[in-house]
Amino acid sequence: MTEETCGFGDFEFERRFYVESLPSVVLEDPSPTLIVQNYYLAEQGFALRVRVQAPGVRLSMDGSENIPHILADHGGDVDFAAVTVKGPMNAGTRYEAERELDATVALSMITLGGQVIAKNRYGVLLGEDGWVLDVFGGRNRPLIIAECERGRPVTDLTIPAFCASEVTEDRRFSNESLARTPFSVWAEEYGAQLGRDGPVFLHGLGVNHHLPPPADLF
């Protein structure tokens, strides 16, 4: 996202949601993108990240993936690599400055150090918004996160029924936190919390509209 396209400079605007099961409409995407990223700093909401992306590469569904082997096998498929500096999230807005990297350099950096996560990203158009759903692998399995990003604050959002609860400001679900403390470590605790307290959604960003399940094309 650039200043020319959104007018806000180095800021991203997104809302993020916990998803309990992957909707069938997303599985219609024949070519998810593999994302592997390492975090070299993750503290108090600030992060320094190196990411590579490879289209059409699927993680295994049984949790047996070996990230170094995946990178070795599919390094030639990487079509984008970047280093990104991020600031803390504040009501769906976050500072993000990104610079594209040579893929070989990025792959070497990810292999040599940092805290790694891997995920498959699926895309789907729902109404006027494009959504991505990230299906995490490794120790973050079976976490699924849905994101809606715009070039301006994400207000008056129509929220699909597959979004069980909003985690935009829950730092546990940030990628940098997941790299350090994987979801599998605290998934049971979060499930109990969600069952006890029910879903939460931000109410300071206009009016939330919730789609009923039939409209989500399950």
Residue 3 in domain: no
- pLDDT at residue 102, as a whole number: 97
> Is residue 3 scored above 80 in pLDDT?
no
Share of the chain above pLDDT 70, in %: 91
Helix (DSSP H) and strand (DSSP E) numbers for the chain: 6, 11
pTM score, whole prediction: 0.89
User: Are 32 and 133 spatial neighbours (Cβ–Cβ below 8 Å)?
Assistant: no
DSSP 174: S
Residue 1 in domain: no
Q: What is the mean pLDDT of residues 53-62?
A: 85
- pLDDT at residue 72, as a whole number: 86
Q: 143: domain CATH number?
A: 2.40.320.10
Residue 2 in domain: no
Return the minimum-mean-pLDDT range out of 29-33, 79-83, 117-121, 199-203.
29-33
Structural domain of 93:
11-216
Q: What is the mean pLDDT of residues 75-83?
A: 94
Residue 67 in domain: yes
- Structurally, the chain folds into a number of domains equal to 1
User: Are 129 and 160 spatial neighbours (Cβ–Cβ below 8 Å)?
Assistant: no
Residue 4 in domain: no
Residue 6 in domain: no
pLDDT band at 9 (very low <50, low <70, confident <90, very high): low
Residue 21 in domain: yes
- pLDDT at residue 23, as a whole number: 86
Look at 155 and 3; give whichever has higher pLDDT: 155
What residues have CB less than 8 Å from 184, skipping those under 6 apart?
A: 139, 140, 141
Convert the pLDDT of each residue in 97-137 to its tens digit: 999 999 999 999 998 888 999 999 999 888 889 999 999 99
> Is residue 218 scored above 70 in pLDDT?
no
- pLDDT at residue 217, as a whole number: 46
Residue 137 in domain: yes
